[in-house]
């Protein structure tokens, strides 16, 4: 089985965590590769999720103007193309990119323009997910939610909440999720990563997402496992990231295989391609070698990903047909 050539779907990748050395060298001339690795790749292991997240600050610094935002977006599509990705949902928090005077609207429009150009250039379809962050005030979450609503018909496909679930409650963000739901727009939410099942239950109750970013600590609660399976709550699983942030000590301890065999729909993702120094191909090989996954298992998770993707049904069916054709051609 040649994992490298397998067509793939990625639903959980952070734009500001995925800057290649080639790109950083362009935006920050003179940086050496070792300095790039020291600054842009998170420690392995990181002390915790916060140390991992803090590493993204170096990428965010380079994404404060149109040039940086466009270049980072195009660079990610080049990486996706090398990874044989046919559909991706890319996420970022637009309010993190206002330090040089860009408006939130200009930030979103710049990324969408670059995505449109890249989709044509690389033949990869993609959607944009806008994130609020756990430490944001209610006003910032509402502002992000309003951006989701404003640009939903222009390439923004969903609303997300990311960052430190362990130290910030949900209260500031409930209304933002409510207005997105009222607009008929889907949501995903980071949960069950830095905190256990109680965080997942809270997130499901208060935010009502169709998908969970990570969600892997649901394995600790059999009743939650049953709920996820019965309600087809989809998990965006990022194995290397979870090991790196010490959610689990080794890949052998990771619950992705148990979750998958139990019947909870999920797919494999990179989270931060640079922060975790990974690709989807690397993630697939890791899972194959740890759990003896077959080609059929990877085909199933990719088809499940397309089922869970925030897509119009006719586009979903086109992508499924493309995926099946490409697999049959291997």
The secondary structure of 55-69, three-state, reads CCHHHHHCCCCHHHH
Q: How many Å is the Cα radius of gyration of the chain? A: 18
CB 206 within 8 A of CB 177: yes
**What's the CA gap between 121 and 134, in Å, rounded?**
35
Q: What does the mean pLDDT of the chain come to?
A: 98
DSSP state of 271: B
Domain range list for the chain: 3-328
Q: What digits encode the pLDDT tens for the residues 140-162?
A: 999 999 999 999 999 999 999 99
> Of 193, 198, 202, 236, which is the active-site residue?
193
**What's the CA gap between 186 and 234, in Å, rounded?**
13
Check residue 273 and give its pLDDT: 99
CB 86 within 8 A of CB 125: yes
Statement: residue 165 has pLDDT above 90: no
CB 312 within 8 A of CB 318: no
3-328 in CATH: which number? 3.20.20.140
**What's the CA gap between 50 and 39, in Å, rounded?**
15
**Residue whose tokens read 């600050």:** 57
Instruction: Note if 193 is an active site residue.
Output: yes
The order of strands in the sheet holding 188-191 is 188-191, 211-214, 234-237, 266-268
Beta bridge partners of 87: 9, 125
Q: What digits encode the pLDDT tens for the residues 108-149?
A: 999 999 999 999 999 999 999 999 999 999 999 999 999 999
Q: What is the pTM (predicted TM-score) of this model?
A: 0.98
DSSP strand pairing (234-237 vs 211-214): parallel
Check residue 1 and give its pLDDT: 65
């Amino acid at each position: 089985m040649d994992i490298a050539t397998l067509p793939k779907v990625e639903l959980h990748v952070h734009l500001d965590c995925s800057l290649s050395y080639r790109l950083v060298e362009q935006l920050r001339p003179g940086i050496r590769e070792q300095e790039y690795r020291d600054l842009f790749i998170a420690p392995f292991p990181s002390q915790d999720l916060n140390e991992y997240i803090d590493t993204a600050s170096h990428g965010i610094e380079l994404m404060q103007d149109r040039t940086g935002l466009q270049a980072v977006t195009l660079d990610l599509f080049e990486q996706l193309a090398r990874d044989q990705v046919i559909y991706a949902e890319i996420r970022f928090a637009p309010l993190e990119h206002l330090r040089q005077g860009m408006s939130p609207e200009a930030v979103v429009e710049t990324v969408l323009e670059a995505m449109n150009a890249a989709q044509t250039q690389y033949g990869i379809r993609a959607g944009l997910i806008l994130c609020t962050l756990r430490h944001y005030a209610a006003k910032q979450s509402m502002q992000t939610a309003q951006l989701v609503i404003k640009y939903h018909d222009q390439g923004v496909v969903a609303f997300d909440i990311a960052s430190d679930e362990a130290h910030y409650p949900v209260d500031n963000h409930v209304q933002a999720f409510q207005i997105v739901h009222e607009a008929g727009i889907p949501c995903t939410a980071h949960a069950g990563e830095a905190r256990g099942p109680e965080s997942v239950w809270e997130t499901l109750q208060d935010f009502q997402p169709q998908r969970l970013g990570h969600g892997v600590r649901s394995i600790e609660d059999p009743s939650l496992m049953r709920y996820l399976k019965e309600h087809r709550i989809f998990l965006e699983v990022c194995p290397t990231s979870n090991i790196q942030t010490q959610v689990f000590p080794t890949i052998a301890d990771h619950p992705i295989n148990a979750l998958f065999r139990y019947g909870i729909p999920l797919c494999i993702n990179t989270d931060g391609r640079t922060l975790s120094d990974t690709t989807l191909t690397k993630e697939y090989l890791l899972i194959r070698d740890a759990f003896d996954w077959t080609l059929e298992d990877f085909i199933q998770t990719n088809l499940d990903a397309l089922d869970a993707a925030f897509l119009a049904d006719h586009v979903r069916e086109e992508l499924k047909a493309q995926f099946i054709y490409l697999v049959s051609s291997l």
